[in-house]
Amino acid sequence: MKVGVLALQGDFVEHIQILRSLGVEAVEVRKPEHLRDLDALVIPGGESTTFAKLAAAYGLMEPIRDMCTSGKPVWGTCAGLIFLAKDAGRPQPLLGVLDVNVKRNAFGRQVDSFEVDLDVPELAQVEKNGNKPRPFHGIFIRAPLISSVGKGVHVLAKLEDGTIVAARQGNLLATSFHPELTEDRRFHEYFLKMGDGSRRS
């Protein structure tokens, strides 16, 4: 399996390191031609407006959008979630493929970053013992939240107050937090598992 990580800015290196530790060929994506033979794509955290503008400048918008609609797994973390969304509450380049509305910097500035354990039942798919999945430690850094979801979107995780922080729509995965900044590889394993069907088809 070959997975690309959008490497225009942000924490792409951490994603690549985890993917490679799972035995996956992980490569940096900076040009449209880098997308051609990929099985999946990760859009990492960073500054959403900046890398959306860079993606547009490098001609990546349509090729990434095509990949999203092709059925291949695409995962957006933090700013990557914003980039996938249909509406971010303000004008900026968006892929518009994930049927969610998001609120940018929903929890405040950098100093308001926080960590919390999340209940993610879907991670039972990658638990080795078959038991109920243990909590996933979410790291939120200037994070967005998902304010509403469309009918085809499955909510994966919420905060205690009901705020949606992870969701999936078919081949599209989105998290407000940063799994790549933890030692826990289960979200990456879950994402790779999403690609099983598309590789067989």
**What is the maximal distance between C-alpha atoms in the chain?**
46
> Which of 27-31, 60-64, 108-112, 117-121 comes out lowest in average pLDDT?
108-112
Could you tell me which residues are beta bridge partners of residue 42?
5, 75
Does residue 199 surpass a pLDDT of 70? Answer: no
- pLDDT at residue number 132: 81
Amino acid identity of residue 165, one-letter, is: V
Exposure letters 165-185 (e unless 16+ CB within 10 A, then b) = bbbbbbbbbbbbbbbbbbebb
CA separation, residue 67 to residues 62, 113, 124, 141 (Å): 9, 32, 27, 27
Q: In 8-143, which ranges are continuous DSSP H helix?
A: 12-21, 48-57, 61-70, 79-84
Average pLDDT of the chain is 90
The residues annotated as belonging to the active site are 78, 178, 180
- pLDDT at residue number 31: 94
Which residue from 61, 51, 42, 55 is spatially nearest to 10, judged by alpha carbons? 51
Q: Mapping DSSP to helix (H, G, I), strand (E, B) and coil, where does residue 20 land?
A: helix
Q: Give the E-state strand segments of 57-194 in sequence order.
A: 74-77, 85-87, 98-103, 114-118, 136-140, 145-149, 154-158, 164-169, 172-175
Residue with tokens 């070959």: 2
In the chain, the domains with their CATH numbers are: 2-200 (3.40.50.880)
Q: In 116-185, which ranges are continuous DSSP H helix?
A: none
- pLDDT at residue number 181: 94
Tens digits of residue pLDDT in 32-59: 999 999 999 999 988 877 878 888 899 9
Contacts of 115 (CB under 8 A, 6+ apart): 137, 138, 139, 140
Tens digits of residue pLDDT in 77-123: 999 999 999 988 777 788 999 999 998 765 555 545 789 999 999 99
